[in-house]
Amino acid sequence: MRDAAIEVDGLTKRFGALLAVDRVSFEVAPGTVFGLLGPNGAGKTTCIRILTTILRPDGGTARILGLDVVGDARAVRHHIGLAGQYAAVDPNLTGRENLELMGRLAQLRPRDYRPRAEELLAGFELTGAAGRPVRQYSGGMRRRLDVAAALVARPPVLFLDEPTTGLDPRSRNELWALIRRLVAEGTTVLLTTQYLEEADRLTDRIAVIDHGRVIVDDTAAALKARLGTTVIELTVDEAEAQRCEAVLAATVGPCVEREGATLRLRSGDGPQLLIAALHALDGAGVAVSGLAVREPSLDDVFLHLTGGAPAVMAGAAG
């Protein structure tokens, strides 16, 4: 018996001069969802490619169910499923043929993979399109087939690389429900995402990754508590912004950030804070020209944790 389904220790990968993954360590408990959250080019996909035995690490170790991804690569492949931005389905095969091919290549027997393929086609609402070549599928259908292909062999550990990128909201919600169902049945899931909302809704634990490094590894709830659940942005006259910041800092507390003419407040209690802030500004005789109330985004996470914008927004390569 082991404690962790996925154990990553000091994982490092270089591409020439670029340090894509820099001493990354984390553990994923069995039957939980772990989220790797970060912008494009942060090293999320490289981590997944190492964990799924596609790439060899330059340093550190990673184990899946106790099996080393380098030394026991073949055995690891029997226990994992991979879907996402770089894993693909064959456009010339039908949906059914794709799933059956995955079953055959996963060394299953026809009597196992045939009914499993039908079950997955039905579960992903692809039965009607099962006989059509995938090149005729819409983007959403293709993505659903891609996830289905990862599930043919019922892998106990599932890797989803940005699974909802490019999905419409309905398909995205369905995929989220499916992931929850798989986890309830005991599957361990590691997913990458650029969306804090997704990580928050789905994951038990989140590692925020930037420039190949884990900058925070915590539960979703704890991360959220640090950030607050609501972000309020107030736009005021540029000339008055500094005075407003002082007014707000004095009345609603130290949770104020200023960026040009925009004042940003975060809180676990949005409505209360909003009333207090508007009240204070009104009392100081300031006209508020713009107002936005929203959930924290990945940008907010980065602003909060690193004090800077994510790498990609600072102009680094994606």
Partner 1 sequence: MTAVAARPVPPRRFAAGRDALSIAGRNLIALRRVPRLLVFSTVQPLVFVLLFRYVFAGVGQMALPAGQHYVDYLMPGVFVQVAVFGAMNTAVGLATDCQTGLLERFRSLPMARSAVLAGRTLADLARNVFVVALMAGIGFLVGFRTHLGAVAFLAGMGLVLLFGFAMSWIFAAVALAVGDPETAQAASFPVMAPLVFASSAFIPVGTMPGWLQGFARHQPVSVTASAVRALILGGPTATYVWQALAWFAVIVAVFAPLGAWRYRHLQGP
Residues that bind partner 1 (CB under 8 A): 1-5, 15, 29-31, 49, 52-55, 64-67, 74-75, 77-80, 82, 85-93, 97, 101-102, 104-107, 133, 149, 156, 186, 188
Question: Whole-number minimum distance, CB 207 to partner 1, in Å?
Answer: 20
Question: Whole-number minimum distance, CB 202 to partner 1, in Å?
Answer: 19
Q: Which is nearer to partner 1, 66 or 115 (CB)?
A: 66
Question: Whole-number minimum distance, CB 88 to partner 1, in Å?
Answer: 4
Question: Whole-number minimum distance, CB 77 to partner 1, in Å?
Answer: 4
Question: Whole-number minimum distance, CB 31 to partner 1, in Å?
Answer: 5
Q: Which is nearer to partner 1, 74 or 170 (CB)?
A: 74
Question: Whole-number minimum distance, CB 151 to partner 1, in Å?
Answer: 13
State the chain's maximal CA–CA distance in angstroms. Answer: 76
Which contacts (CB < 8 Å, 24+ apart) does range 251-256 have?
251/276, 251/277, 251/279, 251/280, 252/276, 252/277, 252/280, 255/228
Q: Which is nearer to partner 1, 107 or 272 (CB)?
A: 107
Q: Which is nearer to partner 1, 6 or 248 (CB)?
A: 6
Q: Which is nearer to partner 1, 2 or 170 (CB)?
A: 2
Q: Which is nearer to partner 1, 91 or 271 (CB)?
A: 91
- Joined together, the tokens standing for residue 120 give 């997955």
Q: Which is nearer to partner 1, 188 or 267 (CB)?
A: 188
**For residue 166, which phi and psi values (nearest 5 degrees)?**
85, 5
Question: Whole-number minimum distance, CB 275 to partner 1, in Å?
Answer: 45
